[in-house]
Amino acid sequence: MNPESRSLETLAIHAAQDVDTTTGAVMPSIVVSSTFARPHPEQPRAFAYARSNNPTRQTLEQCLAALEGARHGLAFASGCAAVSTLLQMLEPGQRLIASPDLYGGTYRILEQVMAPKGLEIRWVDLCDLEALDAALAEGPCAYVWVETPTNPLLRLVDLRALSEKAHRHGAKVVLDNTFATPVLQRPFELGVDLVLHSTTKYLNGHSDMIGGAILTCDDALAQKLRFLQNALGAVPSPFDCFLLLRGIKTLCVRMERHCQTALRLAEWLEARPEVETLYYPGLPSHPQHALAKRQMKGFGGMISLRLKGGWRAAESVLSRLRLFALAESLGGVESLVCHPAKMTHAALPAELKARLGIDEGLIRFSVGLESFDDLRADLERALGEESS
């Protein structure tokens, strides 16, 4: 099947997954063998050892590449494994520009693992393109590392403008597309060089596996990454690859529902007196709403808000929610809520959290596929009891 001739909805179900010609199976097999026989020492087959490659993983990687419109896809054991492997491409003394409002795990890898080993990290607000210009002018830069929408404040970065500026200075652009997915945001069409995913989240969508991915259209980068993937060995199991392939089949319909319900909840929450500030790119009140409409095909299933009353109010609401489970992660069929300052972004220094606005009153919601009416009732009860 030529991926260019198919819609994203069709690719999610069929990319790299033809009917098995031997058995007629319509679903890809889970091949669990750790090693593969060859007829002669000088006659290798496509598969030799499962760390290097595996039929189920190969199917997944080809499917992921088709979804993002990439030439190459590489699967990893977690999103952090993908981040760590990509950073192994850099040498001590090289420079990386990144926005500080990243996923807390990425910040931890950069600041506490890579920086002590000699990687120079320049933290810049990438929503401010003039600040990016100034940072790029300071000297050679290997990567500009970005998330959009950001986690957890859902700020947006203009990917086309950022990519043009980075490329003029010889830097590659790395985008974590976990929040948006290829359904809502097409990074390679906007100039991005490397796309990351925590496939644990929306791509899988069922909160039952851990995984990560790197996608690229650059043959040379892909060759280096493939070497590192094999050498470092942070690869997913065949069963996790199968679970992810299964989850991807419903990605498009799930994202449509996530977006619909999140927008309705955001509109309702914005009018609540208990809410001090609401963060959702789909609302006209969002400062980058125009960019969201231009850059994205939908506004996502994540909502963040700041409650009046700080930690006391947040703790009360979190303790009263029933359908929104208090848990880290996001993107599953079930709705989740978390307190970023104490959970997902606990690794950030207190002064950085304060500067970014990740304070004690901030709550982040991952809106699932439950009934809008039931989710609203859950929030209304928790907020109403807090204010009573």
Q: What is the pLDDT of residues 21-56, one digit of tens each?
A: 889 999 999 999 999 999 999 998 899 999 999 999
CA atoms within 13 A on the CB side of 118: 6
Strand partners, 145: 98, 174
Helices 79-87 and 219-232 meet at what angle, rounded to 10?
110
**308 catalytic per annotation:** no
Q: 325: which strand partners?
A: 336
- Summarize pLDDT for 367-384 with one digit per residue, the tens: 999 999 999 999 999 998
In which band, very low, low, confident or very high, does the pLDDT at 5 lie, cut at 50, 70 and 90? low
| Catalytic member of 176, 193, 240, 378 | 176
Query: Would you call 125 exposed, middle or buried from its count of C-beta atoms within 10 A (0-12, 13-18, 19+)?
Result: middle
125-129, 312-316, 343-347: range with lowest mean pLDDT: 343-347
Segment 315-319 shows an average pLDDT of: 97
**What pLDDT, on a 0 to 100 scale, did the predictor assign at position 173?**
98
Q: Where in the chain are the domains?
A: 3-248, 252-387
Is 297 an annotated catalytic residue? no
Contact (Cβ atoms closer than 8 angstroms) between residue 184 and residue 193: no
Q: Which residues of 9-32 are buried (b: 16+ CB within 10 A; e: fewer)?
A: eebbebbbbeeeeeeeeeebebbe
pLDDT for residue 348:
87
pLDDT at 158: 98
Phi, psi of 315, rounded to the nearest 5 degrees: -60, -40
Residue 4 has pLDDT above 90, yes or no: no
To the question of domain 252-387 being in CATH 3.40.30.10, the answer is no
pLDDT tens profile 241-269: 999 999 999 999 999 999 999 999 999 99
DSSP secondary structure code for residue 362 in this structure: E
- Active-site residue (options: 201, 254, 306, 353): 201
- Rounded Cα gap, residues 227 and 49, in angstroms: 14
pLDDT, one tens digit per residue, over 128-137 is 999 999 999 9
Active site residue 201: yes
Q: Do domains 3-248 and 252-387 have the same CATH topology?
A: no
103 is catalytic: yes
The active-site residue out of 57, 95, 101, 103 is: 103
Using a pLDDT cut of 70, give the percent of the chain over it: 98
Annotate 169-208 with DSSP letters as a single string.
Answer: TTPEEEEE-TTTHHHH--GGGGT-SEEEE-TTTTTT-SS-
State residue 388's pLDDT score: 43
Please report which residue ranges of the chain form alpha helices under DSSP H.
Answer: 8-14, 55-68, 79-87, 104-108, 129-136, 159-168, 181-184, 219-232, 238-248, 251-270, 289-295, 310-320, 350-356, 372-387
Gap between the Cα atoms of 16 and 70, Å rounded: 14
The predicted-structure confidence for 326-359, as pLDDT tens digits, reads as follows 999 999 999 999 999 999 998 889 999 999 999 9
Mean pLDDT of 203-220: 98
Task: Please check the confidence at residue 1 and state whether its pLDDT lies above 70.
Answer: no
Comparing CA positions, the residue from 76, 91, 89 lying closest to residue 224 is 89
Q: Evaluate if residue 63 carries a pLDDT over 50.
A: yes
Active-site position among 51, 272, 308, 381: 51
Spatial distance between the Cα atoms of 167 and 42, rounded to a whole number of angstroms: 43
Burial class (CB in 10 A: 0-12, 13-18, 19+), 113: middle
CATH classification of 3-248 is 3.40.640.10, yes or no? Answer: yes
* pLDDT confidence of residue 205: 98
